[in-house]
């Protein structure tokens, strides 16, 4: 095992905080190891005037980090799992998942507002969020908003938005819980697959035993079910398809969102199964929902 572990991360404040969570865990369990953060700007962070589907999807948040891993510039990389494509680069598996932070989405009001007014404007670049918000706020319109958390909060304050939706996990890690106006249940707003979980990626075949203290089996099971559900329904980077798993004891409750492109209809359903069969649970729920949609 090398004496220094180089941890790759995007440059945003949230990404750095997330990488530091992993760094601190390594330092605590392996104090003999040196660690260093390597901050890398990704294409997804650089191009903010276009939606993700116009510029190549979620892969733009990991491409540069993958290259750095493959070329030996870093030893591991840390990602928000929800921002990772369903397929990882060859030879660069996800080697572990962190304990999950709050997976829910939250609504933030424009400063001075305590609710979204009739006919208001909600900022979101997520098709999933816009789809589900349409049922909760039918009189509202939805306008794209991109950038890191701080950028979006600034746009909310300065531009013509009455509210915006962000992940609770990111706000908590940034210490910005106080801006939350409404917390959506997972039934109201099915979270993106992997939301709240940090994924650690590394090179296949290397010794990653120094990560043992941060890896979480519950998160791994939930992530496996969620990502299997999305992959089974061909939910690409811009698809509203989403899933949320919750392990309780030996069982997992999986909630899935299936969207039918041809007419814009969607379904939300739940299935319970054994957590040790997480992938099978995700695939089974996806197949059930696909069949139902085909017969309606």
Q: 104 is written with which tokens?
A: 């829910």
Residues 67 and 205: their CA atoms lie apart, in Å, by: 17
Angle at 231 between CA 211 and CA 45, to 5 degrees: 65
Q: 181 is written with which tokens?
A: 């106006």
Which DSSP category does 159 fall into? Answer: S
Beta bridge partners, 142, equal 122
Q: Are 286 and 256 in contact (CB under 8 A)?
A: yes
Q: 288 is written with which tokens?
A: 């059930």
Nearest CA-CA partner of 66 in 42, 33, 35, 45: 42
Neighbours of 271 (CB within 10 A): 18
263 is catalytic: no
Alpha-helix runs per DSSP H in the chain = 13-29, 43-46, 52-55, 63-70, 127-136, 149-158, 168-174, 217-232, 278-294
Neighbours of 255 (CB within 10 A): 21
Kind of pairing between the strands at 242-248 and 141-143: unpaired
Q: Are 8 and 16 in contact (CB under 8 A)?
A: no
Catalytic residue among 45, 66, 75, 83: 83
Which DSSP category does 60 fall into? Answer: G
Residues with catalytic function: 83
């Amino acid at each position: 095992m090398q004496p220094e572990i180089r941890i790759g991360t995007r440059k945003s404040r949230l990404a750095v905080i997330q990488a530091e969570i992993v760094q601190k865990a390594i330092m605590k369990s392996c104090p003999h190891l040196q660690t260093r953060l390597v901050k890398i700007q990704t294409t997804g962070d650089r191009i903010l005037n276009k939606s993700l589907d116009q510029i190549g999807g979620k892969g733009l948040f990991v491409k540069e980090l993958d290259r750095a891993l493959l070329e030996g510039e870093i030893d591991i990389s840390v990602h928000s799992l929800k921002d990772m494509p369903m397929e990882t680069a060859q030879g660069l598996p996800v080697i572990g998942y962190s304990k999950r932070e709050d997976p829910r989405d939250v609504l933030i009001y424009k400063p001075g507002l305590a609710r979204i007014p009739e006919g208001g404007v909600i900022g979101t670049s997520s098709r999933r969020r816009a789809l589900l918000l349409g049922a909760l706020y039918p009189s509202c319109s939805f306008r794209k908003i991109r950038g890191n958390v701080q950028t979006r909060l600034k746009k909310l304050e300065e531009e013509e938005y009455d509210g915006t939706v962000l992940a609770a996990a990111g706000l908590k890690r940034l210490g910005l819980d106080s801006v939350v106006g409404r917390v959506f249940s997972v039934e109201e707003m099915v979270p993106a697959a992997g939301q709240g979980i940090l994924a650690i990626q590394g090179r296949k075949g290397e010794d990653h035993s120094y990560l043992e203290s941060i890896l979480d089996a519950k998160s791994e099971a939930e992530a496996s079910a969620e990502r299997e559900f999305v992959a089974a329904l061909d939910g690409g980077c811009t698809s509203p398809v989403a899933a949320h798993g919750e392990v309780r004891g030996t069982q997992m409750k999986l909630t899935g969102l299936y969207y039918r492109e041809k007419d814009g209809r969607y379904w939300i359903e739940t299935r319970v199964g054994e957590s040790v069969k997480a992938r099978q649970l995700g695939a089974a729920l996806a197949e059930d929902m696909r069949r139902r949609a085909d017969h309606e």
